[in-house]
Amino acid sequence: MKERSAKFPYASITFALNLSNLAETTTLLMKTWVLNLDKDQWDLNHFQIKKIPIKDLKKVSSV
């Protein structure tokens, strides 16, 4: 019983550190991807995402 409770925190710490490393790697990859995107293309995508009319969405859902 004592051995199991002594080993468990170490496993949790290792798991947490692995998650932290994964998060840092993912963030780094995302930053690199964003920096490598063509600025005009990003602006176009951003514009399209933000400019979806709500009334058009309501029309589609009511039909």
* pLDDT tens-place string over residues 18-62: 666 666 766 666 655 555 555 545 555 555 555 555 565 555 554
Question: What are 38's two structure tokens?
Answer: 């063509």
pLDDT at 49: 52
pLDDT at 1: 45
Any idea which residue has 């969405």 for tokens? Answer: 57
pLDDT at 39: 54
Question: What is the pLDDT confidence band of residue 9, given thresholds at 50, 70 and 90?
Answer: low
DSSP of 49-61: HHT--HHHHHHHH
pLDDT at 17: 64
pLDDT at 14: 64
